[in-house]
Chain A
């Protein structure tokens, strides 16, 4: 049993890799990559993206990001068995995002600039789409609620905050993770930074040429183990540790020596009470940009040794920004639960400057602990430790 006793009692995920966990597992196992040109909005940029097909573009009143969050949270809540038992519980909600926090409606702004006034419809949608506030309302949660906007580590940090709430006994249950929709703003922005690939992304590959954007949501339900047992359920997965550290170096580039990520890993493993040798695999941030993969790969080699099993799942989902930490936490947990991780999609050729390679085929994993990492704009480095029974 874990010393921390915080269990993952439910998981839900939606991405281009699948609209629920069974579909996602099938696609991961088969190595299917659902990328396509952008169809959600008009743009002259023709980078491949990973869109979630077959769901609406939000409803008239809320943003698509919220719809994605509801899908993942609904699946997680269903699995947790808490869906109809929330009445007396102190429930916290902590969700990460980037897009749902931004007042970034181009049509509204264009109209405002032209006329000096504009329809308030998009503003109303924005105001109703704060993830923590909206999920709290949907699930009747009255505990702490926070929407984390730490750029690409938002989802991981939201999970870490949720863990700290439980450990401080601020609530009984936390709904946490991340969600983000594909949007024109980051597509143009990452394009301007020169970090988008014109081909399907190749994390950690010597010929990697940048990231592909994606969208989705990943949500986990965490609660104290004693509460789960009182409900007559058995714990299979634990959230054991979280680390967060700043680079304090550059707004958009990781610190070259990777010391921020090392600190985050150290903190997370210290909280979990484990050492690098106990880690079964790492679900890396692995964006397929030159800088990220070089720094992250070198830290993983140094920290865990040259034999570390690791992968990036962004070859299946694209970079889902604020959702990435939530989605990848679910993927890491599924790997532990089912005993396998998929091939690191897009990888073919080892990069000598990194010195280690991700898994190139579906790989069995048997140890007890997995780590999921996130690196972000602003120099944020985050890591969580997930364990199986």
Chain B
């Protein structure tokens, strides 16, 4: 599949300019112990014109998807053949909790229908379809381990079978106070606010993050703007130029990544920019797509390197043909997403 457009909403802003700027600036200390997306970033009267009642989850996803579509050169008339696949770990859980607030405070018979309808996981995908005028297939999937790569796999089957000509595939997750609490209880939250992706620690550190990233995918070669992307095993790269590791402290011990560290190619990870999220692989893939388009290596934002890896330490021009983004789940199952120029 070819990446024809890219959109992103994260702690440091919205759209690719914000991403490129963040990659140049490198790591910054998170505020309130999390890489949250401020409300200012989620203001856009044009893209969000029918989303007055929508929550942050839907707005983030809609803006990222909208930008991905606008970033592409896909003819607006082709929206009928546009599919949408949103992947998430926790969905709009903050809205679900707002609904529980209603139940707790006012009782089962006095809850808000608006909050309830926005607590459905697929509300965000609906808003994307509405904003873009899509009538194609719309799917929301949720997993804790590898939801983004599963979304890519489904997109590939849709494009191959002709179910649609274009698919917006992306991820979204929100943070919030309860998630921060869960992180503190379940994970080793970094006291200095710094994810250390190359420590390969048994108890790696995490910093909660949130955001959304979307890729507009198509099999049409002429629309390829960034790279090709696939999560299918047959697309595996024998020797990629760069490994991007999804180490973010959310899936338990990261010792298993040590075997990759010895493999030789250039290694990087951008999770310290985005924060720890179970969908973080989609964000690293966005950076990979930029690297392939711009033929640039972006410096790893945190460069603690106790294992002497061949790290990307400075931003520089480079000939990059292929990148493999690697994530191990909690059970140490490995999934790779392959990007090629």
Contact in complex: B140, A148 (CB < 8 Å) = yes
The chain A residue with its CB closest to the CB of B156 is A168
The B interface is mostly helix, strand or loop, or mixed, namely helix
Contact of B103 among A102, A148, A188, A249 (CB under 8 A): A188
Q: Which B residues between 118 and 137 are near A, CB-CB below 8 angstroms?
A: 118-123, 125-127, 129-130, 133-137
Contact in complex: B142, A101 (CB < 8 Å) = yes
Contact of A248 among B129, B144, B181, B232 (CB under 8 A): B129
**Complex interface: chain A residues within 8 A of B143 (CB):** 130, 132-133, 145-147
Contact in complex: B108, A246 (CB < 8 Å) = no
Complex CA–CA separation, A164 to B182 (angstroms): 36
**Complex interface: chain B residues within 8 A of A117 (CB):** 181
Contact in complex: A150, B116 (CB < 8 Å) = no
Q: Which A residues between 97 and 135 are near B, CB-CB below 8 angstroms?
A: 98, 101-104, 106, 109-110, 112-113, 117-118, 120, 123, 127, 130, 132-133
Contact in complex: B163, A248 (CB < 8 Å) = no
Contact in complex: A103, B161 (CB < 8 Å) = no
> CB of A379 within 8 A of chain B?
yes
> CB of B191 within 8 A of chain A?
no
> CB of A239 within 8 A of chain B?
no
Complex CA–CA separation, A186 to B232 (angstroms): 37
For the complex formed, measure the closest distance between the CB of A245 and the CB atoms of chain B, giving whole angstroms. Answer: 6
**Complex interface: chain B residues within 8 A of A106 (CB):** 100, 103-104
Annotate A143-159 by CB proximity to B: 1 below 8 A, 0 otherwise: 01111111100000100
Contact in complex: A165, B157 (CB < 8 Å) = yes
* Contact A267:B144 (CB < 8 A) given known A189-B111, A246-B138: no
The chain A residue with its CB closest to the CB of B130 is A248
> CB of B107 within 8 A of chain A?
yes
Contact of A151 among B122, B156, B163, B182 (CB under 8 A): B122
Contact of B154 among A146, A189, A193, A246 (CB under 8 A): A146
Contact in complex: B104, A110 (CB < 8 Å) = yes
**Complex interface: chain B residues within 8 A of A112 (CB):** 178, 181
The chain B residue with its CB closest to the CB of A186 is B116
Complex CA–CA separation, A101 to B93 (angstroms): 9
> CB of B185 within 8 A of chain A?
yes
For the complex formed, measure the closest distance between the CB of A325 and the CB atoms of chain B, giving whole angstroms. Answer: 13
* Contact A267:B129 (CB < 8 A) given known A146-B143, A185-B96, A260-B135: no
The chain A residue with its CB closest to the CB of B160 is A168
Annotate B138-159 by CB proximity to A: 1 below 8 A, 0 otherwise: 1111111101001001101110
Contact in complex: A130, B144 (CB < 8 Å) = yes
**Complex interface: chain A residues within 8 A of B270 (CB):** none
Contact in complex: A109, B104 (CB < 8 Å) = yes
Contact in complex: B103, A44 (CB < 8 Å) = no
The chain B residue with its CB closest to the CB of A248 is B129
Complex CA–CA separation, A117 to B93 (angstroms): 17
> CB of A244 within 8 A of chain B?
yes
Contact of A43 among B108, B118, B129, B158 (CB under 8 A): B108
Contact in complex: A102, B119 (CB < 8 Å) = yes
* Contact A377:B123 (CB < 8 A) given known A104-B96, A146-B154: yes
> CB of A191 within 8 A of chain B?
yes
For the complex formed, measure the closest distance between the CB of A38 and the CB atoms of chain B, giving whole angstroms. Answer: 10
**Complex interface: chain A residues within 8 A of B104 (CB):** 106, 109-110, 113
Contact in complex: B142, A149 (CB < 8 Å) = yes
Q: Which B residues between 167 and 193 are near A, CB-CB below 8 angstroms?
A: 178, 181-182, 185-186
The chain A residue with its CB closest to the CB of B231 is A144
Contact in complex: A103, B129 (CB < 8 Å) = no
- The 10 tightest CB contacts between A and B, nearest first, are A189-B116, A378-B126, A149-B121, A378-B122, A244-B137, A164-B157, A188-B108, A192-B113, A103-B93, A246-B138
Interface pairs (24), CB distance under 8 Å: A43-B108, A44-B107, A45-B108, A98-B121, A106-B103, A109-B104, A130-B142, A146-B147, A149-B120, A149-B141, A150-B125, A184-B103, A189-B116, A191-B108, A192-B110, A193-B116, A194-B113, A245-B135, A245-B136, A246-B84, A246-B126, A246-B134, A377-B123, A378-B140
A residues whose Cβ falls under 8 Å from a Cβ of B: 43-45, 98, 101-104, 106, 109-110, 112-113, 117-118, 120, 123, 127, 130, 132-133, 144-151, 157, 161, 164-165, 167-168, 170, 184-194, 244-249, 251-252, 259-260, 263, 267, 376-380
B residues whose Cβ falls under 8 Å from a Cβ of A: 84, 90-91, 93, 96-97, 99-104, 107-113, 116-123, 125-127, 129-130, 133-145, 147, 150, 153-154, 156-158, 160-161, 163, 178, 181-182, 185-186, 232
Q: 5 new A-B pairs (CB below 8 Å) besides A149-B141, A251-B118?
A: A117-B181, A146-B147, A246-B84, A246-B126, A380-B122
